[in-house]
Amino acid sequence: MRLNIYHLVALQGCTGLAVMVFGPVWALLADRKVLRRKTLLVMGFAGWGLTSILMAMLAHDFQGLLLLRFVRTAFLCSGAPIAQSIIGGSVSPELQGRCFSWLALSGGLAVILTSHLSTAISEQPMLGFAGWRFGLLSMGLLSLALSFVTLLTMQEPSGKCAIDDFLPGSVNFLVALRNLKDHWQLRSFRLLCLLGSCCSFSWQVMLFSTLYFQYRGLTDWQAGFATSCGYIGDLVATLFGGALSDALHRRYSLHGRLYLAQASLACTLPVVLGIFVTLPRHGVVSASPYAVLMFLFGLSVGSCVSAVNKPLLSQIAPASHSASIVAWEQTLESTIGTMWAPAAILGLQRIAGYHASHVAIPQMSMGLRDHNANALAFVIFSFMAVAYVCAVAGYTALHWTLSHDLAERASGCKKAHAIEKAHATEKTSLLSA
């Protein structure tokens, strides 16, 4: 099955739609304690594994691949809100950056392996399967094994049977919408949704970097290596970003994590300029310069989500809504970024004159390869420049909105406590009389 750039854009849109629909559902199940968080994780892992195996065995056309990708993402998006609920409810704010970074670190290791290996083996036969089918089959079996290990070894973080706290009729779509309404009152939540959209959008655009490197003359192995270097940089930033974020939080309180985000993102634009503007003008076809710059790109953006955004979301969310706030952030991020980004990318590609082709890149004429490479460079650099300028501006504005939202939250808690105390005193006086 050979996919062109339009198919890849459609797959991205499908992924965003699944996150938008099913993310709040998983969060509602976790926050309302319908099932144990352990049970939810087991269900998510098992569903992801089974759908990966079905994709490997049954996807023979693009429509079938698109449908199974949607179902697979519906299970996959369970991890983030459940993890947010566990860490937000059991870890102090001074250590949350480190915990979220370690969580992202484990995912980054998997992405590095799969991004490099999938590009290298995608067209190679493996044990009687096409390379990409063999990769999906392997990931599906590993996911089923993880589900089984989680079922046997994980202890429920709450220490209490979550199902005992379930209130009949308390789980419906209106509850999820009320949670969204509460979160939307927070200026910082709205701003973090926009920032998440910018970061998500930039990563979606950078997915085309592998194709761009292939157009520039790099082999499949070299293109996969250069792309994986970006994930290695992201991994290094994640490894050290959490501890640095916590240290800055202890030193500068609310503003510390924001200083980290502003400084790291300010370094991104020069790197992107070097990848898509400077190197092509010098006719570079070696993988080494692209690999170094991709590493620096990952290093500059890797700590923002895990070491900054997740701890901030946990800090502004009520304890009973720690899962729903990250799920709704992901949903709105997908709505704002993932859903309209594919159409914007395709529109700009038409302006740039990109020509889709079903012919393998090595078999294309040099003129077509150069033309498509220049078109992709224009699209990627244009969107990345806008996204990261907006991101730096957004993190700057958070210096004011965070203080305001936390002050309002503290004031609201004091009022609620005073009302509760007055209500209890009134009842006590009446009973005494």
**Token pair for residue 193?**
């949704």
Does the structure show a pLDDT above 70 at 427?
no
Does the structure show a pLDDT above 70 at 47?
yes
Instruction: Report how far residue 306's alpha carbon sits from residue 107's, in angstroms, rounded to the nearest whole number.
Output: 11
Instruction: Report how far residue 401's alpha carbon sits from residue 210's, in angstroms, rounded to the nearest whole number.
Output: 38
3-state SS, residue 126: strand
- Most confident by average pLDDT, 158-167, 220-229, 286-295: 286-295
pLDDT in tens, 253-268: 888 999 999 999 888 9
Instruction: Report how far residue 226's alpha carbon sits from residue 209's, in angstroms, rounded to the nearest whole number.
Output: 9
**Token pair for residue 168?**
């009949």
Characterise 33 by phi-psi region: left (phi > 0), alpha (psi -120 to 50), beta (else): left
Task: Tell me if 259 sits within 8 A of 266, measured CB to CB.
Answer: no
pLDDT in tens, 307-363: 888 888 888 877 667 777 877 887 777 677 666 666 666 676 677 777 777 677 777
**pTM recorded for the entire structure:** 0.69
35-44, 83-92, 159-168, 275-284, range with the lowest pLDDT? 159-168
DSSP 249-295: HHHHGGGHHHHHHHHHHHTHHHHHHIIIIIHHHTT---HHHHHHHHH
Please report, as a single letter, which amino acid is at residue 97.
G
Q: How far is CA 148 from CA 43, 90, 433, in A?
A: 10, 24, 60
CA 98: distance to chain centroid?
Answer: 17
Residue of 135 and 230 predicted with greater confidence: 230
Residue of 284 and 43 predicted with greater confidence: 43
DSSP 336-378: IIITTHHHHHHHHHHHHT----SS-GGGS-HHHHHHHHHHHHH
HEC readout, 60-119: CCHHHHHHHHHHHHHHHCCHHHHHHHHHHHHCCHHHHHHHHHHHHHHHHHHHHHHHHHHH
- Tell me what pLDDT residue 403 has: 86
- Tell me what pLDDT residue 348 has: 66
pLDDT in tens, 143-186: 899 999 988 888 876 544 444 444 444 556 666 677 778 888 88
Domains of the chain: 5-153+173-355+363-407 (1.20.1250.20)
Instruction: Report how far residue 101's alpha carbon sits from residue 107's, in angstroms, rounded to the nearest whole number.
Output: 10
Q: Tokens 């194709």 belong to which residue? A: 211
Q: Percent of the chain at pLDDT above 90?
A: 10
**Pairing between β-strand 125-126 and β-strand 129-130 as defined by DSSP bridges:** antiparallel
- Tell me what pLDDT residue 167 has: 44
Q: How far is CA 262 from CA 95, 117, 193, 233, 388, in A?
A: 21, 33, 17, 18, 10
